């Protein structure tokens, strides 16, 4: 049997641009490694090409284009086992997939979701923005504008999936869906709120720092290639 890894360590793996199907495979492999104790709790950081995902509480009625129209826009569609409804992933987001063991001291699903929201609230605060929560909805909000989505899966207290925070995202792609299943909800980004460009790597590093603080982990980064995201 391999020696158990110190639970307070967090392996950070910045993966760059990764298609959604590949990211699912990476999560599955990492989940097994964390579950068996051969790898520390891990935070995967990445971006996806244009992708719509349908969570366990969602359905295709919140997608406003048919499959052929999505294909023409170079948008892929996945049904997935995360919580939540329909969301968009694309360039200019910091996507964080924590694969961590919540046992034995953090076995609380609601606390976990609130903690993920807290990470994004703190990231926004570092850029001078006051973010918070909206009653009845998950995610992180600036007023009634959603800046970060949360959709997770927890199996035997090992987490997967996670958050997507809009940094410099092309928000027009959210017009392809009904965000949160509610037509009158808006989506925003750090760049839109600040009225200027925002360095993606800087936001990733701020995210790592706040994730480590909120979850009580000591981050150790495993350097990996960060392929530059290209405009659509």
Distance CA 14, CA 189 (A): 21
Q: Which residues are catalytic?
A: 180
Task: Classify burial at 138, counting beta carbons within 10 Å of its beta carbon; exposed 0-12, middle 13-18, buried 19 or more.
Answer: buried
């Amino acid at each position: 049997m391999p020696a158990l890894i110190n639970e307070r360590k967090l392996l950070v793996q910045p993966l760059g641009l990764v298609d959604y199907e590949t990211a699912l495979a990476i999560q599955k492999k990492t989940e097994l490694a964390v579950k068996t104790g051969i790898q520390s709790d891990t935070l995967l950081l990445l971006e996806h090409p244009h992708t719509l995902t349908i969570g366990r509480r969602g359905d295709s009625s919140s997608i406003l284009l048919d499959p052929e129209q999505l294909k023409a826009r170079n948008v892929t569609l996945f049904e997935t086992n995360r919580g939540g409804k329909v969301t968009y992933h694309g360039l200019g987001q910091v996507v964080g997939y924590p694969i961590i063991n919540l046992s034995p001291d953090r076995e609380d699903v609601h606390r976990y979701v609130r903690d993920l929201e807290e990470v994004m609230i703190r990231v926004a605060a570092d850029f001078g923005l006051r973010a918070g929560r909206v009653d009845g909805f998950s995610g992180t909000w600036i007023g009634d504008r959603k800046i970060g989505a949360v959709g997770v899966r927890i199996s035997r207290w090992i987490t997967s999936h996670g958050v997507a925070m809009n940094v410099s995202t092309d928000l027009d792609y959210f017009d392809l869906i009904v965000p949160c299943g509610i037509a009158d909800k808006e989506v925003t980004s750090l760049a839109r709120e600040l009225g200027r460009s925002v360095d993606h790597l800087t936001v990733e590093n701020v995210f790592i720092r706040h994730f480590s603080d909120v979850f009580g982990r000591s981050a150790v980064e495993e350097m990996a290639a960060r392929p530059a995201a290209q405009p659509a």
